């Protein structure tokens, strides 16, 4: 059986992304203005790892750093139009890889798995 990160990385490689860089891009492609520290907390990564991921995405013109209006000492990471477009394309590939990885599960089992993983990632 192929592990999720391996399957995810394989699916995202066509877009020049890996699971971690895709995760950052996914989080900053929405309306929320997320700081690098918040990204690190949310993804449970060391802040230095997030800096490296954001640097790489920024060098490709996919994200920008902007001053955080809540804290002038911090930056928020914002997806560019190019970054949002790439995220939309990569999302299709990521969802397809996830479906393939979980195709042996019934729809009910997939729903339960998703709920359990969400509760583990975002405890109340």
Q: Give me the CATH number covering residue 44.
A: 1.10.10.10
**Region 88-107 average pLDDT:** 89
What is d(CA 56, CA 3) in angstroms, rounded to the nearest whole number? 25
Pair 61, 24: CB distance under 8 Å: no
Residue 2, pLDDT above cutoff 50: no
Pair 84, 55: CB distance under 8 Å: no
- ∠ CA 26-96-88, nearest 5°, is 35
Reference 40, options 49, 29, 32; nearest CA is 49
What separation, in Å, do the N-terminal and C-terminal C-alpha atoms of the chain show?
Answer: 32
Print the domain residue range for 19: 4-121
CB-based contacts of 85: which residues, under 8 Å, 6+ apart? none
Q: Between residues 92 and 1, which one has the greater pLDDT?
A: 92
- The total of structural domains in the chain comes to 1
In tens, the pLDDT along 31-80 reads: 888 999 999 999 999 999 999 999 999 999 999 999 988 888 888 999 99
**Is the entire prediction scored with pTM above 0.85?**
no
What is d(CA 115, CA 121) in angstroms, rounded to the nearest whole number? 10
**Model confidence band, residue 117 (pLDDT cutoffs 50, 70, 90):** confident
């Amino acid at each position: 059986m192929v592990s999720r990160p391996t399957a995810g990385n394989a699916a995202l490689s066509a877009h020049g992304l890996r699971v971690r860089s895709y995760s950052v891009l996914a989080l900053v492609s929405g309306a929320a203005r997320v700081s690098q520290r918040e990204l690190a907390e949310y993804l449970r990564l060391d802040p230095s790892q997030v800096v490296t991921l954001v640097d790489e995405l920024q060098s490709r013109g996919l994200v920008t750093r902007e001053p955080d209006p809540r804290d002038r000492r911090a930056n928020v990471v914002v997806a560019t139009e190019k970054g949002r477009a790439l995220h939309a394309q990569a999302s299709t590939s990521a969802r397809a890889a996830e479906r393939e990885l979980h195709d042996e599960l019934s729809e009910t089992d997939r729903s339960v798995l998703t709920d359990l993983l969400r509760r583990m990632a975002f405890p109340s």
